[in-house]
Amino acid sequence: MKKLVILLMLLVNSPLLFAGGYVDGKDYKTVTPQATETGDKIEVLEFFWYGCPHCYSFEPYVQAWKKTKPANVEFVRIPAVFRPDWEIQARAYYALSNMGVIESVHEKIFRAIHKDKKRLNKMDDIASFVEKNGVDRKKFMQEVNSFAVDGMLRKGKKKQAAYKIQGVPTVIVNGKYMTSGSMSGSYENMIKIINYLLAKESK
């Protein structure tokens, strides 16, 4: 009986058992800490690819979460580049971000690729698509080829390498913790794990 009580006490005080029951190394993992760029706010960083069906499936959960996220949290996206041809969509994302129109077309690009079966893997096709959705084509193409986008692309690749990203969607919380669809088991649970890590960081 005495041994059972001691065992229960050890389990209750175990760092593996927090509210929610999420376990480091299973539901998420601690990574080598990297500097964040969100000041006093907690950074939630999503690595994604427009061509990824899993990222498309995860997007509605992200959009719903963004509406309820704590005020001390800032959400940032980085388009992953695992192959040279992925740079085209990454450049498009950064260009649209710099133009201040990304939120109006981000979900539309996902839907065009995965629901409407548009390839959008050539810059000319992306330019035509965003133009139809109210984006100035000439300004978009200038931004795509700008030094600013060159720099953002390099920085994104550097972060991807630093966090050792193996697949998408992958989320990094405050430069310290990583979770993904494969780790969490479901996108709904992935959001719960993100919120759990946010609460952990807010303490």
Please choose, from the candidates 74, 77, 57, the residue with its C-alpha nearest in 3D space to the C-alpha of residue 190: 57
Q: Given the DSSP bridges, would you call strands 42-48 and 73-79 parallel, antiparallel or unpaired?
A: parallel
Please choose, from the candidates 47, 157, 145, the residue with its C-alpha nearest in 3D space to the C-alpha of residue 92: 145
Mean pLDDT per 10-residue interval, the chain, length 203 residues: 44 44 96 96 98 98 97 97 98 98 98 97 98 98 98 98 97 98 95 97 90
User: CA–CA distance from 137 to each of 57, 86, 114, 142, 145 (Å)?
Assistant: 28, 21, 23, 9, 13
Q: Are 123 and 149 in contact (CB under 8 A)?
A: no
Rounded to whole angstroms, how far apart are CA atoms 39 and 19?
Answer: 27
- Strand, coil or helix: what is 75? strand
The per-residue pLDDT for 9 is: 44
Residues near 164 by Cβ (< 8 Å), separated by ≥ 6?
Answer: 31
Rounded to whole angstroms, how far apart are CA atoms 167 and 102?
Answer: 23
CATH superfamily of 83-163: Glutaredoxin (3.40.30.10)
In this structure, whether the domain defined by 15-80+165-203 belongs to CATH 3.90.1200.10 is answered with: no
The per-residue pLDDT for 16 is: 39
- Give the domain ranges of the chain: 15-80+165-203, 83-163
- Rg of the Cα atoms in the chain: 19
The per-residue pLDDT for 20 is: 63
